[in-house]
Amino acid sequence: MTPDAVTQPQSLPTLDGAAAIYDPDTAEHSLRTAHTSASMAGLLNLSEQEILTVWWAAMFHDVGKLTMRVEVLRQVGPLDEADERELRAHPAVGSDLLLAVSPALAPIAAAVRAHHERWDGSGYPDGLKGDRIPLLGRIIAVASAFDSLTRPRPYRPGAVGAPEAIGELRRWSGRKFDPMIVPLVVELHNNGRVVDATGVLHSVQHLPEAVRFPQLNALSARQWEVLSHLMRGERVRTIADKLFVSESTVRNHLSAVFERFGVHSQVQLLALLSGSDEIITLNG
């Protein structure tokens, strides 16, 4: 599968927009999970194609919840048996939705279907165990759990700090989670590379929706990551060091982002996204 097979179907942004409207909290959770998943895939030295695939799979790992009642999604406390069955169906439903969009999305759909499988075989929907669980699904499972633990969610208002979340992931390593994947979140956190895309989204809320979302949805995982660091005012050299790539690679990604947004410089892009006329120099 080529990256174009993932980025070309217009229904992907449409599904993303529908998810954001139906349940904004789940949409923001998915965006953060996509950043962390792509970063972990990079640490595993997966190919650009696999990184792009895990990015999109994480973006849509909860898309099956579009078929659920909102009151179930937002219920605080334990679910009854019927509601629990409805919730546990969402990985398979999401996978089927993506396959209905296009058979070319099969690798994404497989990861979506697998993100609630458990390393010990006690997960769902297929009860897969160990490395029989698709690798991208195992990555998303850890990234999603970390974000869920550190962010208040409608069904779980409380949240814990990153050290406590990491401790919880370690406690379930080898049971819920692949023991090879859990240390990757620790490495990302220790290096300040757990990306928070929500700040980027909040900074562009003043833009009309027709302007805002098409460009953002069109960015690759690496372009999103570069943009997130750029929005924090980091220089090209710093971004390159954090992402373990060359400065020319960062500049190439930035050039692609400029083209998407119809701007010609970092200053213009930051002014557009932040709504500010402040001049920020990021050379060198």
* Mean pLDDT of the 153-158 span: 58
Domains defined for the chain, CATH in brackets: 3-190 (1.10.3210.10), 198-274 (1.10.10.10)
pLDDT of 85 higher than 90: no
pTM: 0.65
User: Sorting pLDDT into bands at 50, 70 and 90, what band is 213?
Assistant: very low
Report the percent of the chain where pLDDT is more than 90: 24
Report the percent of the chain where pLDDT is more than 70: 67
Q: Which residue has the tokens 């792509």?
A: 38
Supply the pLDDT for residue 59: 84
Three-class SS of 93-146: HHHHHHHHHCHHHHHHHHHHHHCCCCCCCCCCCCCCCHHHCCHHHHHHHHHHHH
Least confident segment among 79-88, 126-135, 141-150, 245-254: 79-88
pLDDT of 68 higher than 80: no
Of 219, 61, 224, the residue nearest 136 (C-alpha)? 61
Three-class SS of 37-106: HHHHHHHCCCCHHHHHHHHHHHHCCCHHHHHCCHHHHCCCCCCCHHHHHHHHCHHHHHHHHHHHHCHHHH
Supply the pLDDT for residue 82: 80
* Mean pLDDT of the 100-106 span: 87
Task: State pLDDT tens for residues 237-283.
Answer: 888 887 777 889 888 988 888 888 788 877 777 666 654 333 333 33
* Mean pLDDT of the 153-171 span: 78
